[in-house]
Structure 1
Amino acid sequence: MSYEMIAILMFSTMMLMLFTGQRVFGAIGFVASMAAVMLWGTGGSDIPFSSAMKLMKWYPLLTLPMFIFMGYVLSESKIADDLYKMFHVWMGPVNGGLAIGTIGLMVLISAMNGLSVAGMAIGATIALPELLRRGYDKRMVTGVVQAGSSLGILVPPSVVLVLYAMIARQPVGQLWLAGIVPGLMMAAMFILYIYIRCRLQPELGPALKEEARAVPMAEKLRLLRAGLLPLFIFAAMMVPFVNGWTSLVESSAIGALTAFAAAVLKGRMTKEVFETSVRQTLAISCMFMWIILAALGFGAVFDGLGAVRAIDTLFTEQLGLDPWMILVLMQLSFLVMGTFLDDTAMLVIVAPLYVPLVKALGFDLIWYGVLYTITTQIAYMTPPFGYNLFLMRAMAPPEIGLRDIYASIVPFVCVMVLALVLVMCFPQIAMWLPNYVYGK
């Protein structure tokens, strides 16, 4: 059997296992281990072992539990509630102001957590009921929460970009910096769309009534200070790192300690909050470690087979495709996979092929990490089985049906596709900041 056929058999077996409901790391790790043993005998068992040793020696891995803990401390201690009250008071007088404030809330939650699930949970439980109670159109606000929560995997400290960095062997710091400008650009595009739409159709997002806006200036300033707290935590973590005063791991520890101290000083660090944060941090960190371990083993087998070189030859020589056409096809495949897989599964499945192929085609892997993340955001919201669609269905109130959820994301997906095209056409949108910081 040719190596190409072995590679196809490995992929088909893995996909079959995933379709039958097996855990991602179990399916990928099993296929990698069995293929290694069948190809190279007992010596093939060294591949998963060496992958485990690589993982344990990868020092930046320590950032993963630190950032996850920081996010859960801030989420469980209800600091996000203060954020929404701030946006509610300051943005309420504008048509669509609360929806715009929700996008701002999601950006700050992303800077605190790095996971889209956390943003979705906070948006669906805090923002969505308030928006509906204020007379906002249910389809528009459902789309706002879903689109805003997707920013969590692009704005640092993005856990997805950490995972990509581990698999692609790229610096996490450069990937984070590359995600800042595209993330803020996408948030600004969401805000611009909401503002224009609500100016044209005020009934979709009515401004707060006069009596609801009657908040003393002292209370407004107090809420503004509460909203600045996450920015302070983010600055305390990122400024030393960007200036080269601390390493990435040290900065993650500063972020976790600062978030913990903020919760203590606010009197919200109860035993229940601490226990929940630690348990969730342990569960998610272990899940990511198993996935990375499986991905490294799978990638090692694929590299040994020479599958990447074979696919490169197929695309460039036999089919005659230019590098940009191949890149577009790769992005389209992410959109298709996103209808039934989450972001980590997509990355683990295609990383052994796509990352070396992107490098062979001459593209920058930092820039491609941003493209992958934006495409993942779009795939999260693409029917029929987008991950965010079903999260929203589970968290939304009864009056919001599945048809509303599907219809709500159409304009936001269009905005995200436009953002993806802009980053593809103008790579400096993503690369300017890391080049500036690391080129100093």
Structure 2
Amino acid sequence: MFSDIGIGYATILIFGSMIVFLVLGMPLGFLTGFIAVAAAYLWFGDTNVLSMVGGRIVDFTTSYAFVAVPMYVLMASLLDKTGIAKDLYNAMRIVGGRLPGGVALQSMLVAVVLAAMSGIIGGETVLLGMVALPQMLRLGYNQNLAIGTCVAGGALGTMVPPSIVLIVYGLSANVSVGDLFLAAVPPALLLAGLYMTYILVLCWWKPSYGPPMKSEELAQLTRADYIRIARDIAIPGMLVLWVLGSIYGGIASVTESACVGVAAVLLAAAYRRELSIGIVYDTLKHTMRTVGMIIWVGIGATMIIGVYNLMGGDKFVQQLIIGQDVQPVVVILIMMGILLILGCFLDWIGIALLCMPIFVPIVVKLGYDPIWFGVLFCINMQVAFLTPPFGSAAFYLKSVAPPGIELTHIFRAVWPFIFIQLTVLAILVAFPDVALFVLK
């Protein structure tokens, strides 16, 4: 029997098998399900134990809060397809272009607004790569600064509510998504503020890195152009207020606000005469593909974690971590290290659904707030989106980057922003009230 080797060696075999299958290219959702079935059969002698895990799968897929995920994905896709997000960037470019580094600054500001409208990093990174990156390169911006701004700005969607990462963490950790949204706002603004400070200081120190727009281009703007700019900024601003205002004003829950957001984007697109059957079809198809991937990863992760816990794995990991004669903060730092390493190789969805059911009970037992730990997790995933070899934000940007920009250039450009992310992570570990004061 597989159980004869003990839970320790079984843990090594399970996670070793996951690494092997990942290297072979098997999708995460399928490999976790396959390993769960194999482990159940080898450990218990049959697969009947999987029926005990079935309830967890049903709870995950039928959770009311999960409805927010497809709605926010649909909202992000509509923003991308209709041109609302692109026009916002073009309008903000005029507003911020007068400053040294101004186009990079306003690109970061647009990234925050886009994140507040959708919470999906893929669309934000692609949009910035298509619109902001060529513009900054054309204006003579330093290539590393331009690339780093687009990648780091696009990844802000993991932190700024309504973040899909926060929603999935809330589901896997069984904590309030609304409280997560509130607690994530101060760290998200701190991170974006440090990004902007870095850009300002760098362009002040080296003016050639971020030259302002030429006065001739600004002089050509007419009154009609300024009216259009105001409209293109006002519409996304109202969308953000509509979504987040409905949550924080107590009008709608997180799930209901997602539906409110979709309705608001549809109305805005209709007002701009950009809504068509083709756009609706494309956005629905993209939403189904994205959400389908999330569901399959969730089912596979729920299966393997359920079987592993029935094997006694959760108690084994808890004893392994808590049993060490170290300060609780050292345990948190070990978890952060594990998440940072996993982030280099696994998708955030898999990390959340695989690790949080094990980590969160340990965090609670150590006396820490799981809401605070959720914010730490999101910052970890910020780093994961940027780090080689599989930083997804870098690959998103590469897919739309101008010719001549390779992945090596992108990974080289993001290191200052990774350092800023790690700085914010350290601040939150040392001072949890930076995130939690809004809940008191």
Counterpart in the other structure of 2:382: 377
Is 1:231 equivalent to 2:209 in the alignment? no
Is 1:36 equivalent to 2:57 in the alignment? no
Is 1:368 equivalent to 2:373 in the alignment? yes
For residues 53 and 427 of structure 1, the distance between their equivalents in structure 2, rounded to whole angstroms, comes to: 34
Map 1:295-334 → 2, pairs under 5 A? 295-317=301-323, 319-334=324-339
CA separation of 1:264/1:60 partners in 2, compared to 1, >3 Å: closer, same or farther?
same
Runs of 4+ in 1 over 6 A off after TM superposition: none
Counterpart in the other structure of 1:408: 413
Is the 8 Å Cα contact of residues 47 and 297 (structure 1) preserved in structure 2? no
Offset at 1:192?
0.8
Aligned with 2:283 (options 270, 274, 277): 277
- Look up the equivalent residue of 2:418 and give its one-letter code: V
Cα deviation code 1:220-243 (max 9, x no counterpart): 243123112122112112223223
Is the 8 Å Cα contact of residues 89 and 220 (structure 1) preserved in structure 2? no
- Look up the equivalent residue of 2:28 and give its one-letter code: V
Counterpart in the other structure of 1:105: 110
CA separation of 1:255/1:425 partners in 2, compared to 1, >3 Å: closer, same or farther?
same
For residues 383 and 17 of structure 1, the distance between their equivalents in structure 2, rounded to whole angstroms, comes to: 20
For residues 328 and 77 of structure 1, the distance between their equivalents in structure 2, rounded to whole angstroms, comes to: 43
For residues 56 and 314 of structure 1, the distance between their equivalents in structure 2, rounded to whole angstroms, comes to: 31
Is the 8 Å Cα contact of residues 33 and 45 (structure 1) preserved in structure 2? yes
- Look up the equivalent residue of 2:402 and give its one-letter code: P
CA RMSD of aligned residues (A): 1.7
Aligned with 1:241 (options 236, 247, 263): 247
Map 1:83-98 → 2, pairs under 5 A? 83-98=88-103
CA separation of 1:95/1:42 partners in 2, compared to 1, >3 Å: closer, same or farther?
closer
Map 1:171-210 → 2, pairs under 5 A? 171-210=176-215
Cα deviation code 1:136-169 (max 9, x no counterpart): 1111100000110110111111111111111111
- Look up the equivalent residue of 2:38 and give its one-letter code: M
Offset at 1:340?
2.1
Gaps of 5+ in 2: none
- Look up the equivalent residue of 2:246 and give its one-letter code: P
Cα deviation code 1:150-200 (max 9, x no counterpart): 101111111111111111111111112221111111111111110111011
Which of 208-217 and 184-193 deviates more?
A: 208-217
- Look up the equivalent residue of 2:288 and give its one-letter code: L
Aligned with 2:87 (options 82, 86, 101): 82
- Look up the equivalent residue of 2:43 and give its one-letter code: L
Is the 8 Å Cα contact of residues 301 and 350 (structure 2) preserved in structure 1? no
SS state at 1:95 partner:
coil
SS state at 1:395 partner:
coil
Is 1:163 equivalent to 2:181 in the alignment? no
SS state at 1:340 partner:
coil
Counterpart in the other structure of 1:137: 142
Offset at 1:83?
0.8
For residues 36 and 366 of structure 2, the distance between their equivalents in structure 1, rounded to whole angstroms, comes to: 26
Counterpart in the other structure of 2:158: 153
Cα deviation code 1:358-386 (max 9, x no counterpart): 22222211111110110111122123442
Return the TM-score normalized by structure 1: 0.94
- Look up the equivalent residue of 1:307 and give its one-letter code: G
Offset at 1:42?
4.2
For residues 404 and 38 of structure 1, the distance between their equivalents in structure 2, rounded to whole angstroms, comes to: 46
Is the 8 Å Cα contact of residues 303 and 352 (structure 1) preserved in structure 2? no
Counterpart in the other structure of 1:72: 77
Which of 265-274 and 396-405 deviates more?
A: 396-405
For residues 30 and 178 of structure 1, the distance between their equivalents in structure 2, rounded to whole angstroms, comes to: 37
Is the 8 Å Cα contact of residues 305 and 354 (structure 2) preserved in structure 1? no
CA separation of 1:340/1:3 partners in 2, compared to 1, >3 Å: closer, same or farther?
closer
For residues 234 and 52 of structure 2, the distance between their equivalents in structure 1, rounded to whole angstroms, comes to: 48
Which of 261-270 and 395-404 deviates more?
A: 395-404
| Paired residues, number | 434
Gaps of 5+ in 1: none
Counterpart in the other structure of 2:27: 23
For residues 45 and 338 of structure 1, the distance between their equivalents in structure 2, rounded to whole angstroms, comes to: 28
SS state at 1:126 partner:
helix
